[in-house]
Amino acid sequence: MSTTERIWEVFRQEDEGDPMVHAGNVNAPDEELAMHYAREFYGRRGESHRLWIVPRDAVTELDDPDLLKPPFDRSHKKPGGYIIKHKLEAAKQRAAGEAGE
């Protein structure tokens, strides 16, 4: 009997079609018991339609700040980073002026 416990990440889906959402994790020595424990922790009250049980070491983690939070201004990559409201207004005024001539 292996007494080495592994951590299993559990994702749950509330209803068919809903996104799988991270629910939490369980310790279990093997996949079979991980399934039982995930069911007890995240499904025993009938709150889940489906569970995914993934060994944590199968998860590729990325948390390097150089890759995720680089030092330069990223505002131009956000949807709100490029403000066009005042340009639109100016364009509208221009168009109205041209029509009035």
Partner 1 sequence: MTELDATTREALAELLLAVADDEFVIGFWDSEWTGIAPMLEEDVATSSIAQDEIGHARALYELLAEVTDDDADRIAYGRDPEAYRHAALLNHRRGDWAFSVARRYLYETADAVRLEALARSSHERLAQLTGKMRREETYHLLHAEAWLRRLADGPADVRERLADAIRRLWADAQQLFAPLDGEGVLVTAGILPQPMATLHAAWTARVRAAVEPIAGKLPDAAPSADGRTTRTDDFRWLHGEFTMVAGGVEAATW
* Binding-site ranges for partner 1 (CB under 8 A): 1, 5, 26-30, 32-33, 36-37, 39-41, 44
Rounded to a whole number of angstroms, the minimum distance from the CB of residue 87 to partner 1 is 58
Rounded to a whole number of angstroms, the minimum distance from the CB of residue 40 to partner 1 is 5
Rounded to a whole number of angstroms, the minimum distance from the CB of residue 34 to partner 1 is 9
What is the spatial order of strands in the sheet that 6-13 belongs to? 21-28, 6-13, 50-55
Q: Which is nearer to partner 1, 36 or 74 (CB)?
A: 36
- Other CB atoms within a 10 A radius of the CB of residue 7 amount to 14
Alpha-carbon torsion 14, 16, 19, 25, what sign?
A: positive
Q: Which amino acid is located at 101 in the chain?
A: E
Q: Which is nearer to partner 1, 29 or 81 (CB)?
A: 29
